[in-house]
């Protein structure tokens, strides 16, 4: 019996690793009362320093894009996403949205600030590429 379980777990890891070769990252638009949670990236050496963007990050080995986005949201914001829905797939990124979460926002060391912003308020922030389009897609799903 344990051989069957071990084989099943190994197959899941192989499938996820093959999926992760295509999709390297995932991110999530966390929505609350038609506002989205955005995070300001630190000045460090990572992608898009000092820009405002959505929580997310790299998919780890053996992890699905959905598992990765839920982990990243928890690590970066202290929020526990209770449910996420796929919004779209881009070249190497899977984008999700969520309106169901628990906890209080507390950002990690990779970020210097956070805000709940409406779609129209996003123009006041120096954001990562396509952020406003992504938020529009997510808000449209709620209507």
Render pLDDT for 60-74 as a digit per residue (tens, 0 to 9).
988 999 999 999 999
- What average pLDDT does the chain have? 88
| Domains held by the chain: number | 1
Residues 6+ away with beta carbon under 8 Å from 9: none
* Rounded Cα–Cα distance for residues 9 and 99 (Å): 31
Q: Give the integer Cα–Cα distance in Å for 59 and 44.
A: 20
The residue segments making up the domain with residue 39 are 2-142
- Where residue 99 sits, what CATH number does that domain have? 3.90.79.10
pLDDT band of residue 22 (cuts 50, 70, 90) is confident
Cβ(30)–Cβ(72) below 8 Å: no
pLDDT score for 9: 58
Per-residue confidence (pLDDT) for residue 21, from 0 to 100: 57
What is the structure's pLDDT at 46? 76
- Convert 6-51 into a string of H (helix), E (strand) and C (coil): HHHHHHHHHHHHHHHHHCCEEEEEEEECCEEEEEEECCCCCCCCCC
Identify the pLDDT of residue 45. Answer: 65
34-43: pLDDT as tens digits: 999 999 999 9
Instruction: Check residue 26 and give its pLDDT.
Output: 92
Give per-residue pLDDT as tens, 80-129: 999 999 999 988 899 999 999 999 999 999 999 999 999 999 999 999 99
Phi, psi of 53 (to 5 degrees): -155, -175
């Amino acid at each position: 019996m344990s051989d069957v379980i071990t084989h099943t777990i190994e197959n899941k890891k192989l499938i996820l690793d093959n999926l992760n070769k295509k999709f390297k990252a995932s991110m999530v638009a966390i929505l609350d009362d038609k506002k989205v949670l955005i995070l300001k990236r630190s000045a460090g050496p990572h992608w898009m320093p000092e820009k405002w963007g959505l929580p997310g990050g790299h998919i780890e080995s053996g992890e699905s894009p959905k598992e990765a986005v839920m982990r990243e949201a928890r690590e970066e914001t202290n929020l526990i996403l209770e449910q996420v829905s796929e919004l779209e797939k881009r070249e190497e990124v899977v984008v999700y949205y969520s309106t169901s979460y628990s906890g209080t926002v507390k950002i990690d060391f990779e970020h210097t600030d956070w805000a709940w912003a409406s779609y129209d308020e996003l123009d006041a922030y120096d954001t990562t590429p396509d952020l406003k389009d992504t938020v529009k897609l997510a808000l449209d799903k709620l209507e």
